């Protein structure tokens, strides 16, 4: 990581410096909220099921059923059990 350090000991942004990919990844992940992570779980679950099916000797359809149940549970939780709430909705 390059950049200049000011008198307070904090790193200042150097406009000529290209952003570090790791810094960018950390920034994106830090700004993700619960619903972003829930959306990311769905394709990951299906990908893991497809990767494990041949190794475990299970038919692909048999591996996708539990993945679909997990994905449905994530969607049900995000939409019905813990839906996003507008903070201004209760203000009058």
Mean pLDDT of 6-28: 73
Could you give the CA distance from residue 84 to residue 78 in angstroms, rounded to a whole number?
Answer: 8
**33-71 pLDDT, tens digit each:** 888 899 999 999 999 999 999 999 999 999 999 999 999
pLDDT at 23 (0 to 100) = 86
pLDDT at 85 (0 to 100) = 83
Query: How many CB atoms sit inside 10 A of residue 14's CB?
Result: 10
Mean pLDDT of 22-32: 84
**14-24 pLDDT, tens digit each:** 666 777 888 88
């Amino acid at each position: 990581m390059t950049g200049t350090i000011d008198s307070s000991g904090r790193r200042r942004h150097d406009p000529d410096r290209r952003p570090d990919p790791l810094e960018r990844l950390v920034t994106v992940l830090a700004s993700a909220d619960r619903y972003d992570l829930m959306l990311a779980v769905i394709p990951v679950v299906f990908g893991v099921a497809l990767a494990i099916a041949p190794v475990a000797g299970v038919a692909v359809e048999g591996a996708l059923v539990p993945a679909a149940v997990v994905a449905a549970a994530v969607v049900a939780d995000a939409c019905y059990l813990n839906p996003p709430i507008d903070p201004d909705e209760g203000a009058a």
